Amino acid sequence: MRALTFTPDLSFETVPDPVPAPSQALVQVSAFSLNFGEIAFRSPDARPGHVPGWDAAGVVVQPAADGSGPAAGTRVVTFGWSGAWAELRAVDTAELAVVPGTVDLGQAAALPVAGVTALQAVRRLGPVAGRRVLVTGASGGVGRFAVQLAARAGAHVIASAGSPARAAGLPELGAAEIVIGPENLRGRVYGVLDNVGGPQLAQAFYRLEDDGVVMAIGRAAREATVIDFELAGTRSARGRIENFNVTAPFGADLAHLVGLLADGELDVRVGLRGPWDRAREAAEALLSRRVAGKAVLDVRRAS
């Protein structure tokens, strides 16, 4: 089959078809989305023929041998730590969700890592109804889902973006306020969903309420965070930073997000969409902050 691999730049390679384990379904991939982390933080020593990619949607061509999961012909969205950027993907049936015929597979492909991360991180904040929640990197993949899901949970959402242009569309997703960087935030916040790290994480921490919490999700800034715990007048009494990592199994959370999408209650902002031949260009656009939301690539089979 054809797959995109880092050889060393993103390019097509012919690799063996995946051999599913008994608990895995084989899926013909229609579309996948790109995530910042799988490109920016990829392992420099990937073995030859290794197929990267976390998020993919498509159609089951071979159900799992152990009888779990959907039948052949079912449309699904899948989450895994490799194998998405290919014509075929073997995926554990605990890590997929069925996609109804009314939902475009390209939209569904945008959900896995970014959507489930945002959902689990909002949940980790605890009850946020009526509380102020700051989302950094709100213009990105995780950020746009986080704004919507925190607003759905009743939070007063403050979306932080790099510029007014990068913040376009965020009020429509549920942001009550926009700030250009957390340093411009007025007042304190109960919760922070931080996708940027570096100085933005420090600035967000300084603005916590006494029992506030920062979910340290990402480090898109690729900079270390320096916090001055002695900075006069800036520190909350008990505010804390929690290390956040999206946690398996993902199937149930993915199904919840697909349901919201199908009901028109979740807006998947696909800021870039094109054929998978344009993966290199799309990856470059994502890393250089030129994608509003998610980048989705459609898999075209060679005729």
Ligand X SMILES: NC(=O)c1ccc[n+]([C@@H]2O[C@H](COP(=O)([O-])OP(=O)(O)OC[C@H]3O[C@@H](n4cnc5c(N)ncnc54)[C@H](OP(=O)(O)O)[C@@H]3O)[C@@H](O)[C@H]2O)c1
Q: Provide the token pair at 215.
A: 């979910």
Going from the C-alpha of 39 to that of each of 25, 36, 227, 245, the distances in angstroms are 26, 6, 27, 17
**155 versus 179: smaller Cβ distance to ligand X:** 179
Q: Where does this chain touch ligand X (CB under 6 A) — which range of 8-16, 56-64, 182-190, 243-251?
A: 243-251
Which one among 109, 114, 125, 260 touches ligand X, defined by CB under 6 A? Answer: 114
Three-state secondary structure call for residue 241 = strand
Q: What are phi and psi of 170, to 5 degrees?
A: -70, -35
Beta strands in 147-239 (DSSP E): 156-160, 175-179, 189-194, 208-216
What's the gap between Cα 103 and its chain centre? Answer: 18
**Residue 152 contacts residue 146 (beta carbons within 8 Å):** no
**Cβ partners under 8 Å of residue 277, min gap 6:** 300
**25 versus 215: smaller Cβ distance to ligand X:** 215
Q: Where does this chain touch ligand X (CB under 6 A) — which range of 14-22, 25-33, 61-69, 244-252?
A: 244-252
As a whole number of angstroms, the distance between CA 69 and CA 276 comes to 27
Residues paired with 160 in a beta bridge = 179
As a whole number of angstroms, the distance between CA 193 and CA 274 comes to 29
Site for ligand X contains 218 (CB under 6 A): yes
| 54 backbone φψ class: left, alpha, beta (φ>0; ψ -120 to 50) | alpha
In the complex, the smallest distance separating the C-beta of residue 149 from ligand X, rounded to whole angstroms, is: 13
Site for ligand X contains 220 (CB under 6 A): yes
In the complex, the smallest distance separating the C-beta of residue 198 from ligand X, rounded to whole angstroms, is: 8
Site for ligand X contains 289 (CB under 6 A): yes
Question: x/- string (CB under 6 A) for ligand X, residues 34-73?
Answer: -xxx---x--------------------------------
**40 versus 98: smaller Cβ distance to ligand X:** 40
Site for ligand X contains 245 (CB under 6 A): yes
Q: Where does this chain touch ligand X (CB under 6 A) — which range of 31-39, 93-101, 201-209, 252-260?
A: 31-39
Site for ligand X contains 143 (CB under 6 A): yes
Site for ligand X contains 182 (CB under 6 A): no
Which one among 5, 148, 195, 225 touches ligand X, defined by CB under 6 A? Answer: 195
Site for ligand X contains 217 (CB under 6 A): yes
Q: Provide the token pair at 254.
A: 């993915």
**Cβ partners under 8 Å of residue 133, min gap 6:** 125, 150, 155, 156, 157, 158, 189, 190, 191, 192, 193
Which one among 20, 141, 191, 239 touches ligand X, defined by CB under 6 A? Answer: 141
Residues within the interface to ligand X (CB under 6 A): 35-37, 41, 113-114, 117, 137, 139-143, 161-162, 166, 195-196, 217-221, 244-246, 286, 289
